Structure 1
């Protein structure tokens, strides 16, 4: 309904007669969109009225359904008495609070100092009295319970308050790591179990009937095949994240119950969170679409709800060219030449700061391809030093190897001598463990540190701190007349010209092209 004097759509529902007397004085935490509205049922209250805080009729219907089911769970709890959460359920709900905080800030976490201060304030609240804990963590507890329509006993809420406090403190530490540039895999999130509901617990979310297909289950089924086919772990991470976010948004994990309207609502929800179009169009929707496509091919699901869902393309305004200017390039390279390892700084990271910018400058390679180089990936053949860029060392786009001769300037600067003196294994990464996760953590850490190092001298946000080298290499290659097929073979770009796919661009041809690439002159 609409109330005179406001354009917001309003929710209005009578309190059932059989619980009316028990409802007097009950506190409600009503979920409306991303907010929770608190109210107490008065002595003369016969109905619940709350603004849905939207003018959009479709969004109002979604919010109305959630409010209605929440209230139904409250009435049922009044009939049966509040329920108690198991310890596992308490930790699962705390995990939802953890994931929500991390997801809300990980793209743009802001200052690490601010988050460290928050961690300290949270610790003080946890060590303080009940009022302090309630003030800091109570709203999140109410939101989490309201999301599931849970009405719980006082002792269960107290236990959840403590668990959520601990989870939010851990989440703040994780966001502080992100703010520091550390996006290595989150090792904390897996400690929280998936929410399981006992027969006694009432919830607004749908439970999966026996034999159903879960959304997150599609990920694991797809990955078993995709891994064998050579797909990268980074793709698995992206698809897993998209499936988890969708499941959390919908409040259920039933892949067969997802509709196109659900995907549209999910897309709109992500946009409302401030998530960039590139993340949604390049990560969320393609991931969900691919998982459902696999599910249909393997008879796990009968439809693909993401197939027709699109996001309007907004052309990004360009205020400058995407490649580094000569001045920016020489500033970065000079900064690299002057870099000295100090204090307890990692030797591997220091080496990366010294050499990776130069390697990118003379190869046009992706920074991720350079930071994962191993000693065995650099060899001398006849009179040429050669870099082998291979998926055996880590992530390479399209999983295709290529070999690139070292520019003679890199040889004169002593890069081969550096490699010869280095220990076996990765040149710029220090691995703690033999697992794939350990390798990816080290890879991300080195990439982030190189990015931060470049940003010390090139602060213009309209140029990418590492990808700018790929653009600059192609620009210079055109200026000096290096043919497109040779330039593409060096940088690893894929040509759409069918003729370029015939024959091989040899090491000799690449070396001839690089011989025309001018040297960078920097101040020592």
Structure 2
């Protein structure tokens, strides 16, 4: 006669069901004090083992309690099996995968509100001190002290990562995970430091970290039956878009966003198998994001849209086998989101004049010229930052610059490629003299300049209102065009916006340049 499977136990005081299971006799001493992560609903709860294991199932509903109990008990028995088999040595890939989960969690948690730059500078300093064995200034920073400090700084997090996977790993594997997590959290802190300064250009997505696969679960087959992950779908879409002589490719920032949002869903689902995605699972993920309140409804809506797009790509790649009936994400209604008023996103004229006046005294090319170029074009700062000397040209008496995709330089969409007229104020400001001193084939500005601009606007100019330091010009330019009577077609073209009509696909030859120059000259100067 086999052993009976335990069932949920109802707590008489709270009426909430619990899992209560005695540890097998042969494991009591081995398991005592060990921490295991047990899935309960949508979360993983870390439980310390004694003579028994007890955890609340978080529900008073009997059927739901049975479902949760079964999942938690399965994870517990898997953990017991790992104890019996002895410590496992993790591969390098598994080590990096665990570090990647820590990285993704720290980037996602602070994406909406990263806090102050000082906070992340302090985190990086303490991380560095731990790795150098200098958390205690009186201790000798030898190898033993370094390992002790790294354990003190990152040990609890690593224990949680290992427990949540139901793993029992050897000492060397733990040391490897500690060191790799330390590196990953430095990466995350650097990303959050940039975001604290208003620089979201890096976003936080990285291809360094693979998805975690438990020992013994790696797929050995290929072909049609092999597992499809959201990451592999993005990789395939990127490959397809790069094919052909005139390929445009997948926009780098779009790719980063899709990878970041897909990673959030995969972490919630605790599986990288995109074939198991259901409408209910996606809805549960969305509601979990909303309930935690770490990101705005608008961001959740964007995350949902990203995953829906990636799944749709997968259906296009493998129409006969990957969700052939319908896209499961399409069945989830996005949350309502309240947009910030446009006035909150736009520089006032007084603020704009302060920034431009301050830029005149800057010796940093980013803060000297990018505000001026954005102010008189409404361009996205990344578009301007990618310009080289050869992108500027003269037609008749007027100067223009060409915003276009190049190797290592992407644009947002097909409407973003354009030739922008240079306002006379920029000529008088000395822009052409600046270009004459520039070298051909070299970027005029540094990559990801948003952090420089944010520090300049917030720290040097002291703009205290929460206007986006770079994107605020785009909103202001639109308003100035309206006030000056710039035609809607010219405004849409100069800013790289589509009108939604067939005109977006026609024309754009040299014949339009004089008209664009004429329209830009309608704008009044800031000074």
- Residue in structure 2 matching 1:274, options 275, 290, 294: 294
Question: C-alpha deviations, 1:16-45, integer Å up to 9, x for none?
Answer: 7xx335335623424356564343322xx4
Return 32-41 or 360-369, whichever deviates more.
32-41
Name the structure 1 match of 2:6: none
Cα–Cα, structure 1 residues 428 and 255, in superposed 2: closer, same or farther, change >3 Å?
A: same
Q: Is the contact made by 1:109 and 1:176 (CA closer than 8 Å) also made in structure 2? A: no
Deviation at 1:193, TM superposition (A): 5.5
Cα–Cα, structure 1 residues 55 and 61, in superposed 2: closer, same or farther, change >3 Å?
A: same
Over aligned residues, Cα RMSD in angstroms?
A: 3.4
Return 404-413 or 25-34, whichever deviates more.
25-34
After TM superposition, the score normalised by the length of structure 2 is 0.80
Name the structure 1 match of 2:478: 474
Name the structure 2 match of 1:485: 489
Q: Is the contact made by 2:359 and 2:367 (CA closer than 8 Å) also made in structure 1? A: yes
Deviation at 1:518, TM superposition (A): 0.6
Cα–Cα, structure 1 residues 410 and 136, in superposed 2: closer, same or farther, change >3 Å?
A: closer
Name the structure 1 match of 2:394: 380
Name the structure 1 match of 2:308: 289
| Matching of residue 238 in structure 1 with residue 257 in structure 2 | yes
Deviation at 1:317, TM superposition (A): 4.8
Could you tell me how far apart the structure 1 residues matched to 2:62 and 2:71 are?
Answer: 14
Deviation at 1:86, TM superposition (A): 3.6
Q: Is the contact made by 1:480 and 1:517 (CA closer than 8 Å) also made in structure 2? A: yes
Name the structure 1 match of 2:4: none
Name the structure 2 match of 1:399: 414
Q: Is the contact made by 1:101 and 1:168 (CA closer than 8 Å) also made in structure 2? A: no
Matches within 5 A, 1:505-520: 506-520=512-526
Q: Is the contact made by 1:102 and 1:172 (CA closer than 8 Å) also made in structure 2? A: no
Could you tell me how far apart the structure 2 residues matched to 1:324 and 1:60 are?
Answer: 54
- Secondary structure of the residue aligned to 1:404 is strand
Q: Is the contact made by 1:322 and 1:464 (CA closer than 8 Å) also made in structure 2? A: yes
Name the structure 2 match of 1:163: 176
Could you tell me how far apart the structure 2 residues matched to 1:516 and 1:273 are?
Answer: 45
Q: Is the contact made by 1:353 and 1:450 (CA closer than 8 Å) also made in structure 2? A: yes
- Secondary structure of the residue aligned to 1:403 is strand
Name the structure 2 match of 1:419: 435
Question: C-alpha deviations, 1:320-359, integer Å up to 9, x for none?
Answer: 45321110110110110121x3xxxxxxxx1121111111
Question: C-alpha deviations, 1:243-283, integer Å up to 9, x for none?
Answer: 3333333232222122222222332344427133333322x
Name the structure 2 match of 1:360: 374
Deviation at 1:309, TM superposition (A): 1.9
| Matching of residue 218 in structure 1 with residue 233 in structure 2 | yes
- Residue in structure 2 matching 1:114, options 97, 119, 122: 122
Cα–Cα, structure 1 residues 23 and 367, in superposed 2: closer, same or farther, change >3 Å?
A: same
Q: Is the contact made by 1:112 and 1:176 (CA closer than 8 Å) also made in structure 2? A: yes
Q: Is the contact made by 1:122 and 1:136 (CA closer than 8 Å) also made in structure 2? A: yes
Name the structure 2 match of 1:494: 498
| Matching of residue 14 in structure 1 with residue 21 in structure 2 | yes
Could you tell me how far apart the structure 1 residues matched to 2:496 and 2:267 are?
Answer: 38
Could you tell me how far apart the structure 1 residues matched to 2:228 and 2:404 are?
Answer: 36
- Residue in structure 2 matching 1:146, options 154, 163, 166: 163
Q: Is the contact made by 1:122 and 1:169 (CA closer than 8 Å) also made in structure 2? A: no
Structure 1's unaligned 5+ residue stretches are 342-349, 431-441
Could you tell me how far apart the structure 2 residues matched to 1:399 and 1:61 are?
Answer: 53
Deviation at 1:362, TM superposition (A): 1.1
Name the structure 1 match of 2:72: 67
Matches within 5 A, 1:170-249: 170-178=183-191, 179-180=193-194, 181=197, 194-199=211-216, 211-215=225-229, 216-228=231-243, 229-230=247-248, 231-249=250-268
Q: Is the contact made by 1:292 and 1:304 (CA closer than 8 Å) also made in structure 2? A: yes
Question: How many residues are paired up?
Answer: 481
Name the structure 2 match of 1:301: 322
Question: C-alpha deviations, 1:218-239, integer Å up to 9, x for none?
Answer: 2222222233352312222222
Question: C-alpha deviations, 1:356-391, integer Å up to 9, x for none?
Answer: 111111111111111111111111111111111112
Could you tell me how far apart the structure 1 residues matched to 2:259 and 2:64 are?
Answer: 27
